[in-house]
Amino acid sequence: MFLRFTSRTNADGMVVRYVALAHNRRVDGRIKPDVLMNLGRVDQVDVAGLRRLAASINKHFGDSDGLAEAAEAGVTAGAAPLEVLDARTIGATWLLDGLWRRLDVGAAVRAATDARRFTTSMERVLFALVANRAVAPMSKLSAAEWVREDAVVPGLSTMDEDHAYRAMDLLVDADTKDRVQESVSYAVAGLLNLESDLLFFDTIRFERDDEDGGDDAFRRFGHAKDHRGDLPRFVIGLAVTKEGIPVRCWCWPGSPSDQAVLAEVRDDLRDWNLGRVITVVDRGFSSADNLAHLRRAGGHRIAGMRMRDGDPLVEAVLSRQGRYQHVRDNLRVKEVRLDGQDARFVICHNPDQAQRDRQHRDEAIARIQAELARIAEQRARDAGRPLGDRTRARNEAAHVRAERALRDHPTLGRWRVQQPNGRLKVNTAKVKAEARLDGKYLIATFDPDISAEDVALGYKNLLEAERGFRDLKAQLLLRPVFHRLEHRIRAHVVICWLALLLTRVAERSSGHTWRTINRQLGRITQVTLAGPAGTVTQTTPLTAEQKAIYQAISVQPPARVTAFEPRLIKIPRSRGGVGARRLPPPGV
């Protein structure tokens, strides 16, 4: 980077010289200068200060040329150096802000808060919380510090913890009757041409250490599917499209029944006027009562069923003979209808998964047999030794501990059975029963029109909902939830849902995972430099990978130079006075 001087001759013959900030680039083997910024007339600027500015910029960004060495020599000689005032990341927040505006999230929030007057834009604060959750999830207090010190949030220079909590309260008010979620979902469906006739629903429970008091407490003790009723909890539901885009989230206190959850989900989605919606739920909702409730609610449901609980209905379905229909290389389906049942059952078989199940089972049985053989050999060897009573008892206690560890093993324990004499052996009946289920899963549907192939493929896409929960927990750090008030917990969940929505849209548009996008764009930094000539704010150059990400998501990258504040200089007035004026802005 260097100063480039040009000259122009006026009509009266006067020669006027201009100075510009430029840098060289190689084109077809030749050096071509590019003008980055016009700085004005030479007689109206501090040329020496601009030289030091260019040299310091080169030194800061690692450009090794003569100007950087000259700048170092100038500093040694006592000249004023260029000072770095600020350096913050901008790449990921800039991308999320572009998606935020395209999805009309800010418009939906502003529509509910236009009548209120705030000195700080609550819409910008809310976006900052969502961006922080996606880029570097942390507490609300730390998020305020992150905005002030670490990241550039477009349109927001600073915020504090009170702003964060006020924005959360406004979000809950704006999302009354799910207005924000509905408007955002419509915008996403129109933007990405999503098919909203197939929605996947799942729930997850979040525990806390203590229960809230009062009749309207949100975190309460209740029945848990993991048999842990000793922790207060609240439940989060998530509905996603088959493309993996989350379109709706719910919160319920305690551990509500599945029937109540499904009824509310059905009613809420019906109010959105989405047309014919097929709801897909996993095996956690496949109890007899839930299936009966789904049958009463309507036909557009697909539900996975548990195959290892000894349900007579499942046994009747699995024992029915019939041919499998080949759907894909790794998927075969067989439809079964039972007398007296209006539900249709589809047995799915994955040959690749069947081979993996068989391999895992064989490895587990081999480990059990090897451990049992080792215990038996050690017990027989100890029996032949002339040991004292105390030593014999100690050795027998060690053998019993080894057998108990094998019996209580979380994965190997399912394949063993304890005999009347207390010894363990491989449960051959269990092995034979499990062999029938290798690579299989069972689905029930009450829709008379959807094909068995679409039922199977639709249920496989339920993994997108489970992936959404994994990302909420692992990447966005939805938990632990430290808020105690119900509206704050709901706001926290909606913020995490918005962050998941933005990251999913970015992933689908670019073809990269959000982890990769965040890592690549996190290297883009906005730097503010100050020197004798003024202050300049610019971003680091974009790499080819970073440009490709912005282009794929259709978001314009941040400008290379975002601000330039020249210092005030004194110039003589036409009548002998002395005045002050700024240097002309860039490009003039």
Distance (Å, whole) CA 283 – CA 276: 23
Residue type, 527: V
Chain-centroid distance of CA 330 in Å reads: 29
Q: What is the pLDDT of residues 147-206, one digit of tens each?
A: 999 999 998 888 888 888 888 888 887 666 566 777 777 777 766 666 655 566 767 665
* Average pLDDT, integer, range 550-575: 75
Query: What is the Cα 58 distance to its own chain's centre?
Result: 37
For residues 130 and 499, is the Cβ–Cβ distance under 8 A?
yes
Separation between Cα atoms, residue 132 and residue 100, nearest integer Å: 13
Q: What string of H, E and C letters represents the secondary structure of 561-572?
A: EEEEEECEEEEE
Contact by Cβ (8 Å): 212, 484: yes
Chain-wide mean pLDDT for the chain?
77
Any residues with CB less than 8 A from the CB of 283 and at least 6 apart, and which? 303, 304, 305, 306
CA separation (Å) from 523 to 13, 520, 547? Answer: 50, 6, 12
110 vs 353 pLDDT, higher one? 353
pLDDT of residue 588: 40
In this prediction, residue 92 carries a pLDDT of 94
DSSP 451: -
Report the length, in residues, of the chain. Answer: 588
With tokens 């499904």, the residue in question is 262
pLDDT at 81 exceeding the cut of 50? yes
pLDDT over threshold 70, residue 29: no
Residue 283 burial (C-beta neighbours within 10 Å; 0-12, 13-18, 19+): middle
| Predicted pLDDT of residue 405 | 84
**Does the pLDDT at position 466 exceed 70?**
yes
Nearest to 199 by CA among 267, 278, 303: 278
- Between 486-510 and 122-135, two packed helices, what is the crossing angle to 10 degrees? 60
Cα(530)–Cα(49) distance, rounded to whole angstroms?
11
List the one residue out of 139, 138, 145 whose CA is nearest residue 160.
Answer: 145
> What angle do helix axes 351-383 and 428-435 make, rounded to 10 degrees?
170
Q: How far is CA 301 from CA 184, 197, 448, in A?
A: 25, 11, 10
Residue indicated by tokens 């408007």: 183
- For 484-548, the three-class secondary structure string (H helix, E strand, C coil) is CCHHHHHHHHHHHHHHHHHHHHHHHHHCCCHHHHHHHHCCCEEEEEEECCEEEEEECCCCHHHHH
**588: exposed, middle or buried (C-beta count within 10 Å: 0-12, 13-18, 19+)?**
exposed
Return the closest-CA partner of residue 55 out of 39, 79, 25, 31. Answer: 79
| Alpha-carbon torsion (455, 457, 460, 461), positive or negative | negative
Categorize the per-residue pLDDT at 130 as very low, low, confident or very high, splitting at 50, 70 and 90.
Answer: very high
Between 39-43, 69-73, 562-566, the lowest mean confidence (pLDDT) is in 69-73
Q: Please determine, for residue 220, whether its predicted confidence score (pLDDT) is greater than 60.
A: no
Sign of the alpha-carbon dihedral angle for 160, 162, 164, 167: negative
pLDDT attached to residue 578:
47
Q: What is the pLDDT of residue 72?
A: 45
- The pLDDT, as a whole number, for residue 103 is 81
Percent of the chain with pLDDT over 70: 73
Q: Which residue has the higher pLDDT, 297 or 416?
A: 416
Q: Which strand (E) or helix (H) includes residue 97?
A: helix 91-102
Q: What are 430's two structure tokens?
A: 């269990």
Q: Give the single-character DSSP code of 156.
A: B
Contacts of 150 (CB under 8 A, 6+ apart): 88, 89, 136
What HEC string does 123-138 produce?
A: HHHHHHHHHHHHHCCC
H/E stretch holding 181? helix 179-192
Q: Is 580 left (phi over 0), alpha (psi -120 to 50) or beta?
A: beta
**Cβ-contact 463, 503 below 8 angstroms:** no
Whether 120 has a pLDDT exceeding 80, the answer reads: no
Q: Measured between alpha carbons, how far is 329 from 573 in angstroms, rounded to an integer?
A: 84
Q: How high is the pLDDT of residue 553?
A: 92
The answer, yes or no, to whether residue 216 has pLDDT greater than 60, is no
Q: What's the pLDDT tens digit per position in 286-338?
A: 566 666 665 555 546 777 888 887 788 888 888 888 888 888 778 899 988 88
Beta bridge partners of 424: 418
Q: Worst-scoring range by mean pLDDT, 65-69, 429-433, 523-527? A: 65-69
d(CA 203, CA 209): 20
- At residue 453 the predicted structure's pLDDT band, cuts being 50, 70 and 90, is confident
Cβ atoms of 92 and 518 closer than 8 Å: yes
**Residue 153, helix vs strand vs coil:** strand
- 286, 314 contact by CB (below 8 A): no
- Mean pLDDT for 556-561 is 89
